[in-house]
Amino acid sequence: MNSTTNGCITWLPPGHADQADLGVLTVGWNVRDLLLENIEALLRSEGSITAELIVIDNHSRDRTVEAVREKFSFARVLVNEKNLGFSFANNQGMAVAHARHILLLNPDMRVEPNALQKTVEYLDTHPDVAIVGGQLSTPEGMIVKSVRHFATLSSQLAILLKLPHLSPATLKNYLWNDFDYTREQSIEAVRGSYLAIQGAARQSLGGLDPRFFLWFEDMDYCKQAISAGWKVMYVPTIRAIDLVGQSFKQVNLYTSQERFTRALILYFKKWHPGWQVWILKILRPPLLLVAWIVEFCLRLFGIKKYRRVET
């Protein structure tokens, strides 16, 4: 067995991961260098657990697959012939994972040395917890607001109509501005950039909803878990550095708005009254038209501008 041991964590290769404690899944799309740095950080992890690494590549054009296979022979690499989105790709990884617990980890994350060990220990000692998120911070040490209240019509209308630019207070409840990021506590939703899933919960809930290409798949999964009687927890001793949406820089304004509004409507169809869905459907065409016009003007004048919708 060609396992890789570094800092006491043993990384098990494909075919030998039946007894792994944690399966780390990371989805890549044209972020080769970020992904390689992500894996290097994983290899610096300390602890006594065993783990498997599954990389799902969404049709990258930057030789991500070749680089991962060359540098990290213990990793299992799944290759898609087109970009299938975050949810579908993670489900592919979960389908072949053998570990007891699962960690969804974005390629622009850098785990702290003891994060994986603490994640497994917490899940093992809290069987009523389905999902765990940790404390994320920027490279400069600023806390990243990774916890959310569930989306409401008012909060999402504020985002769509750009009201936070006029008054940031319009999103104070949704973004949980008074949340204490130093204290372990039960929450509603956590970002999917570092999202650990209890093994039993995974068996009960299944995978992410594959209809979410990007956005709201994490909130939807948290909503499913809580609705089924599970807990979602924030644990500040589990820490990682978040480079904050580097993959999003590849997506233009119109595509970003189109995917965001499509995911938003799907989320509301699942969890909100029909009249709220119709309001969002009515607003979507003019919002996309504005995004298209802005994108056209940016391209016309040779300005590259990419954005991330705040969710």
In the chain the domains, ranked by start, together with CATH numbers, are 4-145+181-247 (3.90.550.10), 248-300 (no CATH)
Beta bridge partners of 206: none
Instruction: Specify whether the CB–CB gap between 217 and 208 falls below 8 A.
Output: yes
SS3 state of residue 215: coil
DSSP H/E element including 121: helix 115-125
pLDDT at 249: 62
Residues in contact with 17: Cβ distance below 8 Å, sequence separation at least 6, in sequence order: 23, 50, 52, 97, 98, 99
Task: Kindly report the number of other CB atoms within 10 A of residue 2's CB atom.
Answer: 11
Which structure tokens are listed for 184? 């372990």
| Residue 60 structure tokens | 């990258």
pLDDT score, position 308: 46
Q: Say what the pLDDT of residue 167 is.
A: 79
In 3D, which of 183, 55, 41 has the Cα closest to residue 112?
A: 41
Q: Which two tokens stand for residue 167?
A: 């008054």
Q: If 0-12 CB within 10 Å is exposed, 13-18 middle and 19+ buried, where does residue 71 land?
A: exposed
Place of tokens 């040395």: 113
pLDDT at 302: 67
Contact between residue 59 and residue 83 where contact means Cβ atoms under 8 Å apart: yes
Contact 129, 163 (CB under 8 A): no
Backbone angles phi, psi at 222, to 5 degrees: -65, -40
Q: How far apart are CA 223 and CA 219, in angstroms?
A: 6
pLDDT tens sequence for the chain (311 residues): 556 655 579 999 988 888 899 999 999 999 999 999 999 999 999 999 999 999 999 999 999 999 999 999 999 999 999 999 999 999 999 999 999 999 999 999 999 999 999 999 999 999 999 999 999 999 999 999 999 999 999 999 988 888 877 778 889 999 999 999 999 999 999 999 999 999 999 999 999 999 999 899 999 999 999 999 999 999 999 999 999 766 656 667 778 888 999 999 999 999 999 999 999 999 988 888 877 777 667 666 666 554 444 45
CA distance 22 to 3: 15
The residue to which tokens 């072949």 are assigned: 96
